[in-house]
Structure 1
Amino acid sequence: MFISIIIPTLNEENYTGALLEFLSTHPEKDRFEVIVVDGGSNDATVEKVSEHSCKLIVTSIQSRAHQMNAGASAANGEVLYFVHADTKLLPSFVDDIQEAINQGVMSGCYRFKFDAPRNPLLHVNGFFTRFPFMWCRGGDQTLFINNFDFEKIGGFDERFVIMEDYDLLERIQAQGISFKVIPKSVKVSARKYNRNSYMKVQLTNLQAMKMYKRRIDPAVIKEYYLNSLD
């Protein structure tokens, strides 16, 4: 099994370097490739990426759905692994995904915990990511999927300029593609909560999910989300 790790970026100079350094020194780096798809950063993200041995795609379209589809189109792996730039992966991720594939699982994610261990409210958020409910999912948990199945369901729907991960997960479920939450936790950034109050982020997420369920135009949801949070 060969994995294509696809990382969408936009002004992630403070995080991209650490993730790429981790991947470039991984003892099993011959079992995966790294594809970074930048959405037109105006900071030093592209320069940081250029310091490492990986594929770099630059697009003027600032949309994770578009960026991740572009990465998938350039991928050579049997398995696609979508990772946010500010997520800290587990050293065991290659073997974890291989084990899931060997068990006949064609897609899945990890649980997560925040890089704010002293915040009990964020600990609760992370705890619930072990359960198989849609509202417990999200792109921060990373997502792997068999390349064939990704193509079969049409990849990410680029109309979703936000909530693209939920739309893809719903189609994975609708197509009967097996899905597993790996019982280990990646670590995700609490920066959104650090810039805003816990309750403000939670209420904004809840309203965005309600809008998504009502099939509100994703562009309208994105505008609401960006205007609500710092």
Structure 2
Amino acid sequence: MMTVIIPTFNEAAHIQSTIQQLREHDVDNLITEIIIADGGSTDDTVAIAKAANATVVVSPAKGRSAQMNYGASFATEDILYFLHADTIPPKNFSTDIAMSADKGCGAGCFMLSFDYDHWFLKANCWFTRFDVDAIRFGDQSLFVRKSVFEKTGGFCEKHIVLEDQHLIKRLKKITRFTIIKKPVVTSARKYLENGIYKTQRIFFIIYGMYRLGYSQQKLVAAYKKMITQNKI
């Protein structure tokens, strides 16, 4: 059995559909709770999530790392599944996760696909089948046994960007990590708002800065300067 944890901030446009499709794709009914870890939304995210019968907790600190850690602190199940609010997992995703866990994989993710048909995005997604850190995206979602998650200390709350990369590196040191060969479907909104090639170039720059050891403060400043967004 597992707990789904979704960090949100002003996701009224997506959260109802995400919760609904989560339940529809949980064919074997392995999801016992969906926890929405909100970062202080000013739209109807919280009301919509509550109406969809999800558990809503408001994190005392804003930011995906802090919100996901806070949501995880309320989880009661053995497996945690972290999912972005604009990402839909494939049918039978929970069964696939359970089978991977039964085979000894303490953590893992899915492949990636976008909700927009473009050859460049498709090419990027094709590479997500490989276990290469440079092409590991947070949108791919992440499952992890709760005991393993707690052993790592969870997400590093100093990480505002690339928090998933940081955690996965630590997970791989203590457990088997797998990539389930099915894609989640995530929104291409950032690519469409900023330009597909420009957005990818920005992501490469940010990742390069991360690998060179730039501070989170500088990474966040560069991200905000280069990409149109109202949140990270």
Please give the TM-score of this superposition, normalised by the length of structure 2.
0.94
- Equivalent residue for 1:107? 107
SS in 1 for 2:88: coil
Q: SS where residue 40 of structure 2 aligns?
A: coil
Residue 69 of structure 1 pairs with residue 72 of structure 2: no
1:180 to partner: Cα distance? 0.4
Identify which range, 205-214 or 149-158, moves more after superposition.
205-214
**Seq. identity, %:** 34
Which amino acid is the alignment partner of residue 217 of structure 1?
Answer: S
Structure-to-structure mapping, 1:86-101, within 5 angstroms: 86-101=86-101
Q: Give the drift of 1:24.
A: 4.3
Deviations 1:140-172 (A, max 9, x none): 000000110100011001010111101001111
CA distance in 1, matches of 2:141, 2:27: 20
Aligned length: 227
Deviation at 1:179, TM superposition (A): 0.4
Pairing 1:41-52 to 2, within 5 Å after superposition: 41-52=41-52
> Do the aligned partners of 1:160 and 1:219 also contact (CA within 8 Å) in 2?
no
Specify which of 214, 220, 223 is matched with residue 222 of structure 1: 220
Q: Which residue of 2 aligns with 1:166?
A: 165
Deviations 1:184-210 (A, max 9, x none): 111111101110112211111111111
Q: For residues 1-230 of structure 1, what are the structure 2 equivalents within 5 Å?
A: 2-25=1-24, 26-29=26-29, 31-117=31-117, 119-173=118-172, 175-230=173-228
The answer to whether the 8 Å contact 1:89/1:187 transfers is yes
Question: Do the aligned partners of residues 88 and 31 (structure 1) sit closer, same or farther apart at CA in structure 2, a change above 3 Å counting?
Answer: closer
Letter in 2 for 1:148: S
SS at match of 1:14: coil
Instruction: Give ranges in structure 1 of 5+ residues lacking alignment.
Output: none
CA–CA distance in 1 between the matches of 2:91 and 2:36? Answer: 19
Q: Which runs of 5+ in 2 are unaligned?
A: none
| 2:80 and 2:143 in contact (8 A); partners too | yes
Q: Say which SS state the counterpart of residue 116 (structure 1) adopts.
A: coil
Tell me by how many angstroms 1:30 deviates: 5.4
Q: Distance in 1 between matches of 2:28 and 2:217?
A: 40
d(CA) in 1 for partners of 2:47 and 2:61? 19
> In structure 1, how many angstroms separate the alpha carbons of the residues matched to 2:200 and 2:132?
17
Cα 1:29/1:223, change in 2 over 3 Å: farther
Contact 1:39 1:59 in 2 (8 A): yes
Following TM superposition, the consecutive aligned residue runs of length 4 or more in structure 1 with deviations greater than 6 angstroms are none
- Amino acid across the alignment from 1:157: C
Q: What is the SS of the residue equivalent to 2:165?
A: helix
Deviates more, 1:29-38 or 1:108-117: 29-38
| Distance change (3 Å), C-alpha of 1:146 and 1:152 | same
**Could you tell me how far apart the structure 2 residues matched to 1:209 and 1:133 are?**
13
Contact 1:37–1:70 (Cα < 8 Å) also in 2? yes
Q: What TM-score comes out, normalization by structure 1 length?
A: 0.94
